[in-house]
Chain A
Amino acid sequence: MAEIMPDEAPQSIPALLARNARRFGARPAYREKEYGIWQCWSWIAAAEEVRALALGFLALGMARGDHVAIIGRNRPALYWAMVAAQSVGAVPVPLYQDSVAEEMAFVLDHCGARFVVAGDQEQVDKVLEVSARLSALEQIVYVDRRGMRKYDHTRMNALADVQAEGRAARQRFEAELAARTAALTYDDACVILYTSGTTGRPKGVVLSNRNIIETSRASCSFDGLTEAEEILAYLPMAWVGDFIFSVGQAYWAGFCVNCPESAATMMTDLREIGPTYFFAPPRIFEQMLTSVMIRMEDAGALKRRLFERYMAVARRYGPAILDGRPVAASDRAAYGLGDMLVYGPLKNTLGLSRIRVAYTAGEAIGPEIFDFYRALGINLKQLYGQTEASVFITQQPDGEVRSDTVGVPSPGVEVRVAETGEVFYRSPGVFVEYYKAAEATAATKTADGWVATGDAGFFEEGTGHLRIIDRAKDVGKTADGSLFAPKYVENKLKFYPSILEAVAFGAGRPFCTAFVNIDLTAVGNWAERNGIAYASYQELAGHPRVLEMIQGHVEEVNRALARDRMLAGCQIRRFLVLHKELDADDGELTRTRKVRRRIIEEKYADLIAALYGGADSVYTETEVTYEDGRKGHIRATLAIREVAPVAVPAERMAAE
């Protein structure tokens, strides 16, 4: 398949693989830690593995246009399976490995997969469990042989056996494979990725070779990614980000994809690999920071003092140095010393020593967490993306990084904000369609290629950076017409460790108010240190000093909101601290801990009325569900606190 495509314009992932085998040859393409050792495959070796597997797939009768489900943790063999499937003209459909059999059945049935490539026995079992309902399913291929010896193999094979068969059948299928790979065009489907879908059934997003390759090319040049990068592939293969990073960009730039030994060893593997390009959701960065902080608490006095002293230096000068802004020579020297004593060793421990570019996305990241990494000299940036966009919509260029924006439109992407505040985009990465859902496609994508994100945001004046504030459907206006973005306010509140959950109200109301849930662990700790006695959650939540602390946080949030002309109207005027934790058992949260606004509004209508009334306290009774399913009531009198709004800076107003 090597000589078919000109070097400069490969039209498919298999064509890119062939190009890389020629261009990068012996450079590492894949590594996987197995049996305690990093096993390595060069581009030539990887191309050979993929070729053997593709020939094996032909021997099993895989046809053009077949859908091949891929289920398992990140392993080279599964990535090869995707590319091998593409080589024979089939389309890979990676599935979330932690999805239960039921969800798996839906996707497998919806895409009509003829083949399943599963990582291990656990995944095979799940597929078998629902296989009676899957009329299209014909063959299962598995990677890990363990526990599989006694299964009925009439329609099942180990991946290594399929490869062996492919190698044996080389002469028989070589011509056919070459023809099929050569026939792939830029507009053929490259992959189908099912979005987890917060509402309703998952949808299969069809991305073409053009989507993936154009996006990969643009984003690689945006960050100057080369074949020298190292990444760790540890995020779900079914997620579009992994497909872009570990397949699209890796094949475009020719860098090495490293697969961890197991999910539990990810942090150790990260340290051993020392990636240069890294993506993680905010949750991971948060966990890493927490583990550092806990270990520092246990460290000796000298180490602790060094850490505190130099982290203060880092916070002051680190971000400026990283952004290339002018910093006095003496401060630079202090930072240099800190780097030698603290930041360097710390980054090494975390496995982040070699990071050139790191991204986070998915949800809002706390500014303290974000600044911590920036201060250490780690180039952590934010991006905003969607499956439908082949990830990239906006991203932050080097030197223009802040925790509250998601950056400027990525190269080749057009972004506009509609009257309603909803963000739309158009780019070469825009998906082809939702598989077998023409209506949904039409509802999301206009004929001229604009896609609705469902998110509300605005472009910041001056910088041109996009800021995402909330889901478009949740954004409203207060009675005086100013913008109200509940989640934006709630996130700002939730960045404080003592606030676990917050619910903001204000749509159609004269001003904004909020419910606050305290975090029992954090506030309990604080109470212990400050000698505050309490007997129950309710008592602690109602304690005057706790209320004062929360009030302080709310005031700070108001100050931050006031700096933003667009969002100044979201300042919280009155709030109360809830006497019970919002709970999924009571239907107040989803199982993934997202606030269910409508239900809370109904259930606590009396409290909301009180927030907009004049009283300074309110008596309430609330029904709760205990873990064993029994119901009970809690009664409480809640204090309602007033917060003075902060005036919006005058010169900003004048600018309008």
Chain B
Amino acid sequence: MTGQVQPAAAEAAGGDRRIGPVVMEMKNITLRFGGVTAIRDISFDIREGEIRAIIGPNGAGKSSMLNVISGFYRPQEGEVWFRGQRRPRLKPYQVARQGIARTFQNIALFEGMSVLDNIMTGRLTLMRSTILDQALWWGRAEREEVAHREKVEKIIDFLEIQHVRKTPVGRLPYGLKKRVELARALAAEPRILLLDEPMAGMNVEEKEDMCRFVLDVNDEFGTTIVLIEHDMGVVMDLSDRVVVMDYGRKIADGPPAEVRRDQAVIDAYLGVPHDG
């Protein structure tokens, strides 16, 4: 067994997950859309293996921040450092090859395709066979498909969606679609997983399930997770460190317990008059 011995508590998830060195660093990021400044001079870091939450009220710039991390938006000012190097401008597939995968706030799956096929698309960047191989369906293409299918089946098993394996995604309820999206992101075997409001619009039970899956992913695969969330309760239970944003600014950064007591955070959530 792994040498880690801990008191046998059901909620063993706390404390000593192996959190490593800084894997990604945002340095003085500013992002503008025309005259609107979405993000103003924000800096924070992400450590290997942690669950890092970004929270804040509506329009605080959370999703923009996630898009900066994923490389989809390029900030006007500031730098993104990844594994000790300044990250150049990237194409989406290059981001994926760096081991970053994400889910979207408004589900972005292929509605007409089955759950299985949707998750298979997540492995696209890992496929090596050529179009010719695949058209002939011989040798490498076949072997590759079997190997990929096995990985995908393990993810299906992990997220407990065996019962909808062959169902077209369009016929699934919302909560399951969210899970399929997580599955597709996992299929890329990411080192960093970006989750944009994974619990939004879910009922309590679905939220609890999703929380468990997020913790399990982090625990089983050691995946670093950056998540945006509205629901304060969820964030506080789930994350190791929290960045709080309001009107494009960072107003707090630290462990949940600390952030929760922060006056600026309380004000932002209770809606104190702003002069931003």
Q: Which residue numbers of A lie inside 8 Å of B, CB to CB?
A: 34-37, 125, 128-129, 146-147, 149-154, 156, 161, 261-262, 264-265, 268
Chain A residues, CB < 8 A from B8: 128, 151-152, 156
Q: Nearest chain B CB to A126's CB is how many angstroms away? A: 9
Q: Nearest chain A CB to B171's CB is how many angstroms away? A: 14
In the complex, chain B residues 1-45 whose Cβ is within 8 Å of any chain A Cβ: 1-2, 4-10, 12-13
Chain A residues, CB < 8 A from B86: none
Pull 26 A–B residue pairs with CB atoms less than 8 Å apart, ordered by A. A35-B153, A35-B157, A36-B149, A36-B162, A128-B9, A147-B219, A149-B2, A149-B219, A149-B220, A150-B4, A150-B12, A151-B12, A152-B6, A152-B7, A152-B8, A153-B5, A154-B5, A156-B8, A161-B1, A261-B162, A261-B163, A262-B162, A262-B163, A265-B162, A265-B163, A268-B163
B142 proximal to A (CB < 8 A) = no
- Assess whether B150 is in contact with A150, with CB atoms less than 8 Å apart: no
B216 proximal to A (CB < 8 A) = yes
Chain A residues, CB < 8 A from B160: 262
Chain B residues, CB < 8 A from A161: 1
What sequence of 0s and 1s flags, for each residue 131-163 of chain B, a beta carbon within 8 Å of any chain A beta carbon?
A: 000000000000000000110011011101011
B165 proximal to A (CB < 8 A) = yes
- Assess whether A146 is in contact with B220, with CB atoms less than 8 Å apart: yes
* CB within 8 Å for A34 and B10 given contacts A262-B163, A268-B163: no
Distance of A262 Cα from B158 Cα, bound (Å): 12
Chain B residues, CB < 8 A from A129: 10
Chain A residues, CB < 8 A from B6: 150-152
Additional A-B contacts beyond A34-B157, A129-B10, A151-B6 (4; CB < 8 A)? A35-B156, A150-B219, A152-B5, A153-B5
Distance of A34 Cα from B158 Cα, bound (Å): 11
Q: Nearest chain A CB to B220's CB is how many angstroms away? A: 7
* CB within 8 Å for A35 and B1 given contacts A151-B12, A152-B8, A264-B163: no
Q: Using CB atoms, name the residue of chain B closest to A144.
A: B157
Chain A residues, CB < 8 A from B149: 36
Distance of A147 Cα from B212 Cα, bound (Å): 10
Interface centre among B8, B12, B157, B216 (most CB of A within 10 A): B8
Q: Nearest chain B CB to A108's CB is how many angstroms away? A: 16
Q: Using CB atoms, name the residue of chain B closest to A128.
A: B8
- Assess whether A147 is in contact with B216, with CB atoms less than 8 Å apart: yes
Q: Using CB atoms, name the residue of chain A closest to B157.
A: A35
Count residues of B near A (Cβ-Cβ below 8 Å): 25
Q: Nearest chain B CB to A90's CB is how many angstroms away? A: 24
Q: Using CB atoms, name the residue of chain B closest to A149.
A: B2
Chain B residues, CB < 8 A from A151: 6, 8, 12
Chain A residues, CB < 8 A from B5: 152-154
Q: Nearest chain A CB to B176's CB is how many angstroms away? A: 11
Q: Nearest chain B CB to A233's CB is how many angstroms away? A: 17
Distance of A35 Cα from B156 Cα, bound (Å): 8
Distance of A265 Cα from B115 Cα, bound (Å): 15
Distance of A261 Cα from B163 Cα, bound (Å): 8
Q: Nearest chain A CB to B240's CB is how many angstroms away? A: 15
- Assess whether B12 is in contact with A153, with CB atoms less than 8 Å apart: no
Q: Which residue numbers of B lie inside 8 Å of A, CB to CB?
A: 1-2, 4-10, 12-13, 149-150, 153-154, 156-158, 160, 162-163, 165, 216, 219-220
Q: Nearest chain B CB to A291's CB is how many angstroms away? A: 14
Chain B residues, CB < 8 A from A34: 157
Chain B residues, CB < 8 A from A156: 8
Distance of A151 Cα from B1 Cα, bound (Å): 10
Q: Nearest chain A CB to B208's CB is how many angstroms away? A: 13
A35 interface neighbour in B10, B12, B150, Cβ under 8 Å: B150
Q: Using CB atoms, name the residue of chain B closest to A266.
A: B163
Distance of A438 Cα from B13 Cα, bound (Å): 46
- Assess whether A36 is in contact with B219, with CB atoms less than 8 Å apart: no
Q: Nearest chain A CB to B31's CB is how many angstroms away? A: 38
Chain B residues, CB < 8 A from A128: 8-10
Distance of A265 Cα from B6 Cα, bound (Å): 35
Chain A residues, CB < 8 A from B165: 36
The 7 closest A-B pairs by CB, nearest first: A264-B163, A35-B153, A152-B8, A36-B153, A150-B12, A125-B10, A265-B163
Q: Nearest chain B CB to A122's CB is how many angstroms away? A: 10
Q: Using CB atoms, name the residue of chain A closest to B8.
A: A152
Q: Nearest chain B CB to A349's CB is how many angstroms away? A: 15
Distance of A264 Cα from B159 Cα, bound (Å): 13
Chain A residues, CB < 8 A from B2: 149
Q: Using CB atoms, name the residue of chain B closest to A37.
A: B153
Distance of A149 Cα from B163 Cα, bound (Å): 26
Distance of A151 Cα from B154 Cα, bound (Å): 22
Q: Using CB atoms, name the residue of chain B closest to A131.
A: B8
Distance of A129 Cα from B156 Cα, bound (Å): 29
Distance of A152 Cα from B6 Cα, bound (Å): 5
Distance of A152 Cα from B3 Cα, bound (Å): 10
Distance of A342 Cα from B40 Cα, bound (Å): 68
Chain B residues, CB < 8 A from A36: 149, 153, 156, 162, 165
Distance of A150 Cα from B13 Cα, bound (Å): 8
Distance of A444 Cα from B2 Cα, bound (Å): 51
Chain A residues, CB < 8 A from B1: 153, 161
Chain B residues, CB < 8 A from A150: 4, 6, 12-13, 219
Chain A residues, CB < 8 A from B156: 35-36
Q: Nearest chain A CB to B159's CB is how many angstroms away? A: 11
Q: Nearest chain B CB to A294's CB is how many angstroms away? A: 15
Distance of A152 Cα from B4 Cα, bound (Å): 8
Q: Nearest chain B CB to A582's CB is how many angstroms away? A: 28
Distance of A56 Cα from B104 Cα, bound (Å): 47
Distance of A146 Cα from B158 Cα, bound (Å): 8
Q: Nearest chain B CB to A611's CB is how many angstroms away? A: 44
Chain A residues, CB < 8 A from B163: 261-262, 264-265, 268
Q: Using CB atoms, name the residue of chain A closest to B155.
A: A35
Q: Nearest chain A CB to B214's CB is how many angstroms away? A: 12
Chain B residues, CB < 8 A from A146: 158, 216, 220
Chain B residues, CB < 8 A from A149: 2, 4, 219-220
Distance of A37 Cα from B165 Cα, bound (Å): 12
Q: Using CB atoms, name the residue of chain A closest to B10.
A: A125
Distance of A128 Cα from B6 Cα, bound (Å): 14
Distance of A161 Cα from B149 Cα, bound (Å): 27
Distance of A146 Cα from B9 Cα, bound (Å): 15
